Amino acid sequence: MVKSSRGFTLPEIVITLSIFGVFLLILVVLTSEMRAYEKKMPVNFMAHPQVAAVLTRMRRDVLDADAANPYPEAFETYKQSAKTLIVRTFIRGGIQTVIWDFTTPGEVKRISYNVGVATEWVARGLPEDFAAKFDAVETPDRPFGVRLQALDQKGLVAVDEYFQPRAHGENAEATPVEPAPVEPPVAQ
C-alpha cells in the first residue's frame, strides 16, 4: 500500500494567512498606540504609582478647602511657597490644616494637623526631578484654585493639573455634607 501525502489547498493557505495578518495588524496598532501614549505622558504611572496617589490626595484636599480661608500664609514652621502648599480642609468633625511639602527631590510629604495631632504621609516613589510648581488661579465667584505642574527629567511638563475648591455660596455655611446613615440588613 502506498500512502498518499496530501498538501494544503490554496483557499486553506489564504484563510490561514489572513487570520495571521489580522493578529499581526492588531499587535502593530497596539504597539504604536502605546508609544504615542508614552510620548504624551512622560511620567510612567506604572513605574511611579505614587504620582497618582499624590494627585488624588491633593485633589481631595483642595476640593474640600475652607471657603473662608482656604490657603493660609503660614502654619507652624511652614510658609506658603512654590514648593509648599498649605490648605485648610473640611473633615468629619471640623477643619484640619494640610501641608504639602515638595522641597525634597523625589519625595512629597503630606502633613495634616487635626486638633493638635499631626499625621504624616510620605510618597517616595516619585521621579527624581519631580518638582511641583503651585500657582493660585482665580476663578470668578469661587476661592482660588491650585495648579500643580511637574517636570520630567528632560524638562518637559509631565503633570499639569488644576484643582478648584467646591463653590460655596456667599451666605452659605461651609460645612461638609454628612453621609446618610446605612441601615443594617434585616435577617429573615
pLDDT digits (tens, 9 = 90+) for 106-157: 788 999 998 878 899 998 877 665 655 566 666 666 657 788 877 766 777 7
Average pLDDT (160-188) is: 54
- Which pTM was predicted? 0.61
Residue bearing the bigger pLDDT, 13 or 93: 13
Could you list the beta-strand ranges (E) of 46-171. Answer: 74-75, 78-79, 84-91, 94-101, 108-114, 117-123, 132-137, 145-151, 157-163
CA angle 77, 163, 145 (to 5 degrees): 70
Segments making up each domain of the chain, as ranges? 11-39, 50-163
For residue 158, give the amino acid letter. Answer: A
- Whether the pLDDT of residue 81 is over 80: the answer is yes
**Residue 68: DSSP 8-state:** S
Q: How far is CA 70 from CA 82, 144, 156, in A?
A: 16, 8, 30
Mean pLDDT, the chain, whole residue set: 77
